[in-house]
Amino acid sequence: MLNILIIDDNILKINDIREELKELEDSKCVAIDYEMEIKKACKALEERQFDLLILDIQLPSLENKAGISKDGGIGLLKIIDGVDRIKKPSFIIGLTAYDENYEKNIIEFQKYLWVLLKYDKSEDLWRRQIAKKVNYLLRAKEDLFRQSSKIAMEYQYDCAIITAVETELESVLNFGLEWDSLEIDGDSTMYYKTIYNKAGIDRTIILAKQHQMGMVAASTLTSKMIKNFRPRLICMLGISAGREGEVELGDIIVASESWDYGSGKIKSDASGTEYVLEPEPHQIAIEPALKEYLMGNFDDSLYKIRKKWNESNGIRQDKDIKIHIGPLASGAAVIQNENIVTKFIVPQNRKVLGVDMETYAVYFSASNVNKPKPSYISIKAVCDYANQYKNNKFQEYSAFVSSNFFMDVIDELLNRI
């Protein structure tokens, strides 16, 4: 519905305008209000947002209702433009029956690209012009409403962050944003929401932690996030094991693709004394635009992250952080044996950078939903090498690196999807 306000002290002219728009008003396509005094008009403009203002030039003055001012309407235009509490109409049409007022004030309307029409009860031109403008504004508002409804139906949050363990969750919560907890009836997960403003743009973020580690929990939480919050982007943040010789502790792994390294068939070998896995990997990749962006140079950003850590934590890190874009395999178990990686996982993808227990499940769940379909990405930092020397020494630092880097790039990631 289009909201129209007519400000005129001549009820006959008001009725003339309403008669021209009678069909639209009767069909509830437009709602027409009118005021005959400037003071009451100002109050109406404070209380409601109007799509169109039709304004007479010659109105009773604000100081003296009995006295008519030849440029009372122009004075009201200046009030509308200069007073913050007045809600600005989307478009303004001036209407005057006097040649003198038309010639004198048309320049004031042209300053704002508004329109001043000459009113003549015996003429049809002004009627057709107002009717055409109202129909155009009505179609434009309907188009905007349809587009807004489509966006609202498809997406509710800009980003959903998934973490698997407490260290990862705390790292995101401690980034420096104000988080509000959010509970959903019948859902045991605790969610956290915030608005992240960067470069003047608000980004809405929802965050949660799995109840336990592993792909089943990751898939369940991803599905709940999509259903409850309809995010544009799903991101897995936190820590992972790296492949020694390919990455260093504290480095970032962006999972360009992921798969379940335990998927396949287990059978006996030729001797019948050992079991072997015949793998059947199903690799899921991120969008090329995200991968391309993250292949850029982030040296300055990574240096600042390490510097921030060193200034606020006891364990100093002197090694530069590097970003690696490549395969990250997921499985059901914590790996503490380098031979498992070499013997079973590397043959499935010789470029594999590391292993975790969740990324593939996030990618699978996010890529197998109907609209609204989110984009997805996993950004993790290496905390160990999945060998017998596995320990928790680097977990807090790696979680810090993962969350801080993501907050640096979230804006551009969202711009590319």
Residues 6+ apart with CB under 8 A from 329: 258, 259, 260, 261, 345, 348, 349, 352, 354, 355, 356, 360
> Cα–Cα distance between 119 and 241 in angstroms, integer?
78
pLDDT digits (tens, 9 = 90+) for 395-415: 999 999 999 999 999 888 988
The answer to whether the pTM exceeds 0.85 is no
Do 49 and 185 lie in one domain? The reply is no
Q: How far is CA 234 from CA 149, 178, 285, 396, in A?
A: 22, 20, 14, 22
Task: Say which residue the tokens 């969008």 belong to.
Answer: 287
Do 159 and 242 lie in one domain? The reply is yes
Three-state SS for 166?
helix
For residues 332 and 359, is the Cβ–Cβ distance under 8 A? Answer: no
Do 36 and 167 lie in one domain? The reply is no
Residues 6+ apart with CB under 8 A from 170: 399
**Is the pLDDT score of 158 beyond 70?**
yes
Packing angle, helices 215-229 and 359-367, rounded to 10: 40
Q: Given this model, what pLDDT does residue 272 score? A: 65
Three-state SS for 76?
helix
> N- to C-terminal Cα distance for the chain?
33
Three-state SS for 157?
strand
Beta bridge partners of 372: none
- Residue 331: pLDDT band (50, 70, 90) is confident
Beta strand pairing call for 180-182 and 231-242: unpaired
Q: Given this model, what pLDDT does residue 216 score? A: 92
- Which of 152, 171, 194 delimits the end of a domain? 152
403 closest CA partner among 386, 385, 381, 384: 381
Three-state SS for 83?
coil
Range of the domain at 410: 155-415
Do 110 and 165 lie in one domain? The reply is no
Do 318 and 268 lie in one domain? The reply is yes
Distance of CA 246 to the CA centre of its chain: 35
Q: Which CATH number belongs to the domain containing residue 390 in this structure?
A: 3.40.50.1580
How many helices (DSSP H) and strands (DSSP E) are in the chain? 13, 19
Average pLDDT over residues 117-145: 89
Task: Say which residue the tokens 């905007």 belong to.
Answer: 144
**Is the pLDDT score of 386 beyond 80?**
no
For residues 331 and 355, is the Cβ–Cβ distance under 8 A? Answer: yes
Do 61 and 178 lie in one domain? The reply is no
Do 167 and 130 lie in one domain? The reply is no
For residues 376 and 286, is the Cβ–Cβ distance under 8 A? Answer: yes
Do 161 and 130 lie in one domain? The reply is no
- Which of 103, 133, 152 delimits the end of a domain? 152
User: Does residue 288 come out as left (phi exceeding 0), alpha (psi in the -120 to 50 range) or beta?
Assistant: alpha
- One DSSP character per residue, 219-259 reads HHHHHHHHHHH-EEEEEEEEEEEE-BTTB-TT-EEEEEEEE
pLDDT digits (tens, 9 = 90+) for 226-269: 989 999 999 999 999 988 889 999 999 999 999 888 776 676 66
Three-state SS for 408?
helix
Higher pLDDT, residue 342 or 108: 108
Q: Given this model, what pLDDT does residue 286 score? A: 93
Q: How many domains does the chain have?
A: 2
- Which of 89, 122, 152 delimits the end of a domain? 152
Residues 6+ apart with CB under 8 A from 124: none
Do 211 and 359 lie in one domain? The reply is yes
Do 263 and 349 lie in one domain? The reply is yes
DSSP 347: G
Q: Which CATH number belongs to the domain containing residue 19 in this structure?
A: 3.40.50.2300
> Cα–Cα distance between 32 and 14 in angstroms, integer?
10
Do 398 and 322 lie in one domain? The reply is yes
**Is the pLDDT score of 68 beyond 80?**
no
Do 275 and 132 lie in one domain? The reply is no
